[in-house]
Amino acid sequence: MTKTYLPYELIFKKRNGARLGDDEIAFLVNGFTDGTLPDYQMSALLMAIFFRGMDDAETAALTETMMRSGELIDLRGRFKVRSVDKHSTGGVGDKVSLPLAPAVAACGVPVPMMSGRGLGHTGGTLDKLESIPGFRTQLSKDEFISAVERVGCAMIGQTKTIAPADKKMYALRDVTATVDCIPLIAASILSKKLSAGPEALVLDVKTGDGAFMQDMAGSKRLAKAMLGICKKSGRRAVAYITDMDQPLGLAIGNALEIRETIECLSGGGPADLRELVIVFGAEMLSLAGAAKSAAEGRKAIEKVLGNGAAKKKFSEMVAAQGGDASVVDDQARLPSAKHVDAIKAPKSGVIQRLAARDIGVASLMLGAGRTKSADPIDYAAGIMLAKKVGDRVKKGEPIAYFHANDRARMSGAGERFLSTVEIGAVKPKKRKLIWDVLK
């Protein structure tokens, strides 16, 4: 049973920089979830945490309480090897989870994946999957477990019963300027992720223009906070810091990203996407105990991407979640836009910069994302890049193709896109795709 305190005293304590104990955190979070702690006191607490921070033990206690506010899925003992999930802090064109989960499952490792929706300028795995006709991301606990057991992987979203404390707290953070706070982000992400019961986790912390954490120091602090929580909860975890200065791959937008996913699952696709799928896949196999070394894991993932096994697994997952699996071999069944316009280079030279954030916003302006939480998504809308940083272009040559059903959206989005493109005379220094690995 949760002990009782005076909320005023606990807010006062945090505001003055003291640490909160596990029971105190539980009292505040549980009270807010069941409605006994009003919004104004939780808002004050969130702002106090924003300015005063939380240490590792407080962040772990916050995560644990938020996770336990709802239904928990326990997969321990169900499989021969450990189940493993992967989380990305979000980016533009980041569709890695989509080919990764079936590739890892095709190597015999279960992947119970708890995914998210688009947030701000970033896309979300669930929205991308829902561009496949019929695909259901809201499975019951039993349906989810049964899909992971039968297929090897399943991807679901937060329901009313999974981490309800996070759902309420996130809604409040969103309107009280308390989203960009490392302990709150770490607890929010992991309370949902760990509810789905993975025994190990690969964390992909994006860094750069299109990421939540734009600089390396912030990205590392977030990675360390999440690793600390995983360790305290008894889960194995590895964190990668990867680049999000330009979009990942060429496709940005829901159905366009499903097409690129199928390319990757067929052994092709853009090199940056393929590399992250292979590196994270190898790490997941190793965390699960299904590969002895990174080299062995790499080989296994390359094999299933090359021989059709990962693609077959993706079809099985789509079918298991009610989707039209024939899209895998017949992409004409995916939504496609009425209008496709080329965005042409204003001058000749080498592409210096394609800022991920602005490109994400341009894609949103075409209809690929939401500007308000209840907005419908145009699954066909988005951007196909024809060039990436370091590529040569001639004046008038397409840099990208815009896909939209509503032609009126093209010009504003085109201006936003072109405002971010820099073309120069010399080849820019290549940025790393993987900046760091933390264990």
160 in active site: no
Which residues inside 108-167 make contact with ligand URA, applying CB under 6 A? 116, 119
Q: Please tell me the number of Cα atoms within 13 Å of 213 on its side-chain side.
A: 22
344 in active site: no
- Residue 62 binds ligand URA, judged by CB under 6 A: no
**Which window, 46-54, 178-186, 291-299, 300-308, contacts ligand URA (CB under 6 A)?**
178-186
- Smallest gap, in angstroms, from Cβ of residue 125 to ligand URA? 12
In this complex, which beta carbon is closest to ligand URA, that of residue 184 or of residue 364? 184
Dist. CA 80–CA 413, nearest whole Å: 49
Q: Please tell me the number of Cα atoms within 13 Å of 59 on its side-chain side.
A: 28
**Which window, 54-62, 182-190, 248-256, 406-414, contacts ligand URA (CB under 6 A)?**
182-190
- Residue 164: its H or E element: helix 164-175
In this complex, which beta carbon is closest to ligand URA, that of residue 170 or of residue 417? 170
- Say which of 82, 95, 117, 192 is annotated catalytic: 192
13 in active site: no
Amino acid at 385: L
- Say which of 188, 191, 219, 286 is annotated catalytic: 188
Query: Measured at the alpha carbon of residue 232, what is the angle toward residues 4 and 296, in degrees to the nearest 5?
Result: 155
- Residue 194 binds ligand URA, judged by CB under 6 A: no
76 in active site: no
Contact with ligand URA (CB under 6 A): which of 155, 182, 185, 377? 185
Contact with ligand URA (CB under 6 A): which of 189, 301, 364, 410? 189
Dist. CA 433–CA 350, nearest whole Å: 19
Q: At what angle do helices 271-288 and 254-265 cross, to 10 degrees?
A: 70
Dist. CA 56–CA 187, nearest whole Å: 11
Q: Please tell me the number of Cα atoms within 13 Å of 337 on its side-chain side.
A: 27
Residue with the shortest CB distance to ligand URA: 188
Which residues inside 70-89 make contact with ligand URA, applying CB under 6 A? none
- Residue 190 binds ligand URA, judged by CB under 6 A: no
Contact with ligand URA (CB under 6 A): which of 63, 137, 188, 286? 188
- Say which of 127, 166, 204, 378 is annotated catalytic: 166
Q: What is the per-residue DSSP string for 92-144?
A: SS--THHHHHHHHHHTT--EEEEE---BTTB--HHHHHTTSTT------HHHH
**Which window, 181-189, 196-204, 292-300, 312-320, contacts ligand URA (CB under 6 A)?**
181-189
CA 363 to chain centre: 17
Dist. CA 41–CA 257, nearest whole Å: 41
Dist. CA 134–CA 323, nearest whole Å: 4
409 in active site: no
- Give the count of residues interacting with ligand URA (CB under 6 A): 8
Residues involved in catalysis? 87, 166, 173, 188, 192
| Residue ranges that bind ligand URA, judged by CB under 6 A | 116, 119, 170, 179, 184-185, 188-189
